[in-house]
Amino acid sequence: MRLRKAVVGWGFATPFTVLFAVFMAGPVLASLAMSFTDLSSADIRNPLAVDFVVFDQYAKLLTDHRFVKAAGNTAIFVLAGVPLTMMAGLAVAIGLSSGLTKFRGLFRVGYYLPVVTSIVAISVVWRFLLQPETGLVNNLLALIGVSGPHWLDDTTFALPSLIVMSTWRNLGFLMVIFLAGLQAIPQSLYEAARLDGASRWNQFRYVTLPMLRPTMLFAAVITTIGYLQFFEEPFVMTQGEPLDSTLSISYHIYNQFGFGNYGYASAMSYVLFVSIVALSLVWFRLLRSDDK
């Protein structure tokens, strides 16, 4: 009977295992091996000509000013975008959980709609909104006597514009996560806090935030992973310009693969992977529960 159960179990698991090995694990391990070589498009027809360069590709990243610039842009995008998106999502979730009872469902749909909309379509719309002369944003600023800048053509405003757009698009997802976390908090805790004379701010500080730590951890990790890989926004809206001020690591990797620098692009991919793991561990360290 035990053998029969094992055979049946492996029979169900084998198709997925094979597909995972062929389409996931295999390419991941192959790209890791590529990162230690100088493989390029010129070597595809003659793989034996590829040289094993060990860590030369990784060392090359330190002297690649475009990679350093892309890493800095990605760091700014994450450090500014993740807290901003989390605060916006939490604020909307608290607002929807405490008021607007009649239209709560409508607002939830409205805030979540950008999440399920194509990022390419959203980026194209925002590109039109941020046009210097015909865009809606500058036209609204002109009504109050303010001359809007060239948002996507100015090195000062291009990356912040992408951060604001990404925050607007992703706050709906975090709103749903935080709403679920808020609904899981026992109301008896708030009643006890009110009986002790706690103000709304103290209820939020000493009840809501501590109880939301697991939810905040999940939201922070998911948002950080997504923002470290941001690609569509600069690809559609700025092409990494002006002067590489919106160039991200993912977009730089895409360009290197397009140029045929497969070994070098693979090395950048694994640097990005290690960065994602490291920042995820930082979030676990900061937001993990103190309960033993």
The number of folded domains in the chain is: 1
| pLDDT tier at 292, thresholds 50, 70, 90 | very low
The string of pLDDT tens digits covering residues 124-171 is 999 999 998 888 999 999 888 888 888 999 999 999 999 999 999 999
- Asked whether residue 103 is assigned to any structural domain, the reply reads yes
The answer to the question of residue 8 being in a domain is no
pTM, whole model, 2 decimals? 0.86
Query: Any residues with CB less than 8 A from the CB of 21 and at least 6 apart, and which?
Result: none
Q: Is residue 192 part of a domain?
A: yes
Amino acid at 257: F
What's the confidence (pLDDT) of residue 291?
A: 53
Closest CA to 55 of 253, 273, 261, 266: 266
Q: Say if 173 falls within a structural domain.
A: yes
Q: How many CA atoms lie within 13 A of 14 on its CB side?
A: 6
Give a yes or no: residue 161 inside a domain: yes
Q: Is residue 136 part of a domain?
A: yes
289 pLDDT higher than 70: no
Alpha helices in the chain (DSSP H): 2-20, 26-34, 56-61, 65-98, 104-116, 119-129, 136-143, 158-183, 187-195, 200-203, 209-211, 213-228, 232-237, 249-258, 262-287
Name which residue leads in pLDDT, 106 or 62. Answer: 62
Residue 90 lies in a domain: yes
State residue 163's pLDDT score.
Answer: 94
Q: Which residue type sits at 218?
A: F
Residue 43 lies in a domain: no
CATH at residue 188: 1.10.3720.10
pLDDT per residue as tens digits for the range 245-264? 999 999 999 999 888 888 89
Domain assignment of residue 273, given as a range: 62-287
The per-residue pLDDT for 77 is: 95
